[in-house]
Structures are given as C-alpha cells and as structure tokens.
Structure 1
C-alpha cells in the first residue's frame, strides 16, 4: 500500500468528523461516572490497556507476521475503542453510558499509551535501521487534531443541547460513512498488496478481534459485573478506532509506513460482522428475560 495524496489529505478530515460526532454525545458527567461506577470502568480499561496488547503480541509472534504488519497490529491494539461500539452496544442491549465513559477516558489515556506501545513494538519487531520512532510530540499533534473536535462537540452539547441531540444520529451515520470511505481509499490504492497480505493478516486480525470481544465480555462476567455492562465492555474492547490507527500509520510526519495500515484496514472490515454476530449471541435471551419479568410483575 502507498499513501496517496487524496488519502493523506482526507484522513484528518475523517478523524475530525468522527471525533466531532463523539463529542456531541459526551458530557462532563461521562467522565464523572468513573467515580460512581469504578469497577466496570477499571476492568474495561485493564482489559484494553494491559490484556489486549499482550494477546496481540502473542498473535503477531505466533503468526510470524512481517515486521511492519506486526507493528501495525500492535498499533491497532493500542488504539482506543471506536464510536461504532456505542451503536453495537445499544443494539445488543448493553450499557451504552458505560461505552461512552470508556471511550472518553481511554481516548485520553491513549495519548500516553499509544506512543509507548508503538515504540516498544518498533524496537522489538523491526531492525534498528528500519525503526522510525513515534515521537511523543508528533503524536500530541495528532491527538490535538483528534481532541479539539471532541471538545468542540462537547461545547455544542453543553450550550446547544437541542441541536446536539438532533445532530447525534446524523453524525453517527456520517462518521460510519467516513470510516467506510477511509477504508476503501486505504485498500484501493494498492489492492494487489492487500490481497497478498490478506490471508495471513486477515486470519490474525480475525483471531485478535474474536479474542478481544470474548475477553471483554467474559472477564467482567467472571468478576460478577452485570451482563449489560459486560456487553458494553466487550463491544468497547472488540471495536477499535481503525481510522486512527490508519492515520498514524500513513501520516508522512509520523510512521509513514503504509504496510502498517493493512491490519487496521482489514480489521475495520471484519469487526462489523464479528460485532454483529457477538451482539446477536449475547442478547439472545433479552426478550425472553423481559417477558419473564413482566409476567412476574
């Protein structure tokens, strides 16, 4: 894959639109909810920040991925949850408020964790003359682009709540379209290269995605966290911000390595199908449970 001028120019716009949509759905209460419900938030963050990178590292090593692809998969693991997780959590009867809180908090924490994890991955997987350190200052520039739209969206939500409420659904649709268009652009430029990598990277990305969804659901359940919150954590951990990972990989001022964008691009396609299947599976007994409760009442 090569980063075309169109894709390089389009990525900041796509990120801005997606993060603005996220900001329209956030309030300060979403951050304060960490204090009110610390256990599910801490469990979700621990799975996201500690467990997933370790699992991803094992998968990258186990599949013997080429160095750039391994770093790309680790970059994806380091990315915070995507806004699409909120929609899938809602459809699966999860705790969407918890999703919003996890996305908000993890997006801030990722400012520190992403450069650290990516730099460690570059040191481990790539030769010293191949590694291009992901400097903290450069990542801060990207997250300024990311966080400013979030802040703008939160201000709109604060001072024009009616407008924000009306725009929330259209913005989610626009964000989904921008995500899809970004993936198409990333794949279309060098389709043959993607086809070459797809068999190995696709299986590795699929395995990582399925394990992410499973860990996100079963670890909270084993810790006696209610099912609705476990569904939310599963969706949050299983659906990463692929656009952000692609942007970091392709940006000429950052990693500037299009091969590193391949895992995120393929993962972003796979996750829609796996998340839908996971949502159907965990919500199978929801209607029956509601009917039983109504009968008991």
Structure 2
C-alpha cells in the first residue's frame, strides 16, 4: 500500500472515530435545547454553510489562484461541523451547550448542502481547466464516515449513557493518536507540493480566517457566550471530512496540499484566538 493510500485510509478512520466521539459526548436534550435559540442558530448555519465559502471564493477570484489550488482551498472551507468547535468554545468560556447543538446540526446538514456548494463554486473557478469531481464519491464517504457514526454515538449515549461514558475516554485517546498520524502522513506524502505556496497564500489564508472570525462573532449575538460558540464553530473547519474528500479525489496534487494547509492554519489560528478572546471578553452578557 502506497503512503497516499494509507493516508486516505487513516483519514477516513479518523473521521469515523471523531464523529463517534461527538455522538458519545452529546445528548438529544442538548441538541433540542440549542434549537430554542432559533435566530442565532440560523445565523450560525448561514455563516458556516454559505458565507465562509463565499468569502473564500471571492479571495480565490481576487488572487487568481491556480485551478487545483483553488479546488483544495474550497474543499477545506466548504465543510463545517468540526468536532473541536465545542471544546474550543469551552476553553474560551463560551456557551458550550449551544456550541454542541450548532456543531451537531452542521454535521448533519453538511452532507446535504456543502457538496452542492463546492460543486457550484468550483465550476466558476475552474472554467479554463476542466476538473471533474465525483459527486457520489464526495457524498458517500461523508454519510458513511460522518452521518452514521454520529448517529451511532448518539444512540449509544441515549440508550446506555453509562457505557458511553466508559467508552468515551479511550475513543478520545485513539483520536489524538490518529490526528498525529494523519498530520505526519500528509506531510510525508505532500511535502513537495507544500512548497508551492507563496505570498498570495500567505495573505489570503489569514484574511479568510479573520473574515470567518469576524462574521461568526458578529452574527452570534446577542450575548458573548453564543458569539464565542458561533465564532469557534466557524473558524475551525471540518478537517477530517475535507481531507477525506481531497485525498480520495485529488491524491498527490496541490489540491490535497491546499486542503491540508488551510485546515492546519484554521486549527492553529483558532487556538491562538481562544487566548485572545478568553482574556479580553468576559463570560457573561
């Protein structure tokens, strides 16, 4: 098995384990409670599923990025519902129950909406170079790797919460190991293409991250707790889903390198943002 194939398999296993962990960590009651905040919830869904992809699309048009790089960045930014969103919200003293509800809803809606958004935006960016992407090959691993394990985790947590609590700790440990292994393997297989990024990427990636953070904070109000919940669910993109799609459709190309680069930056940037928001904004309000 080649390194690229091993990386794709490991990423897919990581996605399944992450979503199972999310299901074990939340309850249906928490999800339903978040739905009571319908207006804020709707704004959180809009900024994640629509505005962030449009921001990225605008920057790619502005910088006239090469086609495969554009595709990779679009894959990275179109898919939301990252399992780390609620954890980051908790570190920043935000509204964790609301963050969990928003994240779970994004995880369920992403397979339905994001592939269509990706295909639409990609069509505009790659007119000069025909790049075909298998829609079924996008949707199938999302449903199998995201939707089903999430549902299984929720079911286990609802029927046997004691068992879910016992299983959660080892699952978290496995996910930490898988995350490290995925990063090492992707760098090992894509280190040559990672060298292609220049000044445009150095400007565009932070600009998109900043726009995502501002939009999430602005649309997450009123109340700092919910602003933080929406912002951290927005800045951190769903790297596991994005990497499954990129490694399955564009292995060994700049597209996978671009997906990995923005996913890594969004994770590191969100961690740094936590300390900034945690210190400068109070919890209440």
TM-score, scaled to structure 2: 0.89
Unaligned runs of at least 5 residues, structure 2: none
**Corresponding position of 1:205:** 205
Contact 1:212 1:237 (C-alpha < 8 Å) held by counterparts: yes
Matched, 1:284 2:279: yes
Q: Deviations over 1:266-296 (max 9, x none)?
A: 1232233321222122222567979xxxxxx
Are residues 202 and 174 of structure 1, via their aligned partners in 2, closer, same or farther at CA, if it must alter by over 3 Å?
farther
Contact 1:89 1:95 in 2 (8 A): yes
Of 157-166 and 111-120, the range deviating more from structure 2 = 157-166
Return the offset for 1:115.
1.8
1:108 matched to 2:108? The reply is: yes
Aligned CA distance change for structure 1 residues 265 and 62 (closer, same or farther; 3 Å): same
Rounded to whole Å, the distance in 2 between the matches of 1:264 and 1:232 is 24
* Residue 225 of structure 2 is aligned to residue 264 of structure 1: no
The Cα of 1:255 is off from its aligned counterpart by 5.2
What is the RMSD of the two structures over their aligned residues, measured on CA atoms?
Answer: 2.5
How far is the alpha carbon of 1:21 from its aligned partner? Answer: 0.8
Matched, 1:250 2:247: yes
Aligned length: 284
1:165 and 2:165 matched: yes
Greater alpha carbon shift after TM alignment, 128-137 vs 281-290: 281-290
SS at match of 2:192: helix
CA 1:199/1:182 → structure 2, altered by over 3 Å: closer, same or farther? farther
CA distance, structure 1, for counterparts of residue 226 and residue 176 of structure 2: 24
Moved more, 15-24 or 269-278: 269-278
Checking the alignment, whether the CA contact within 8 Å between 2:86 and 2:99 is kept in structure 1 is: yes
**Residues 34-45 of structure 1: pairs in structure 2 closer than 5 A:** 34-45=34-45
2:225 aligned to which of 216, 224, 228: 228
SS in 2 for 1:142: helix
Aligned CA distance change for structure 1 residues 3 and 130 (closer, same or farther; 3 Å): farther
Q: Which residue of 1 aligns with 2:93?
A: 93
Larger radius of gyration: 1
1:203-223: CA deviations, max 9, x gaps?
Answer: 4222222221221112333xx
Distance in 1 (alpha carbons) for counterparts of 2:271 and 2:190 = 29
- Residue matched to 1:75: 75
Structure 1 residue 169, shift from structure 2 partner: 4.7
2:81, 2:110 within 8 Å by CA — same for their partners in 1? Answer: no
Specify the alignment match of 1:8 in structure 2. 8
Distance 2:264 2:251 in 1: 22
Partner of 1:31: 31
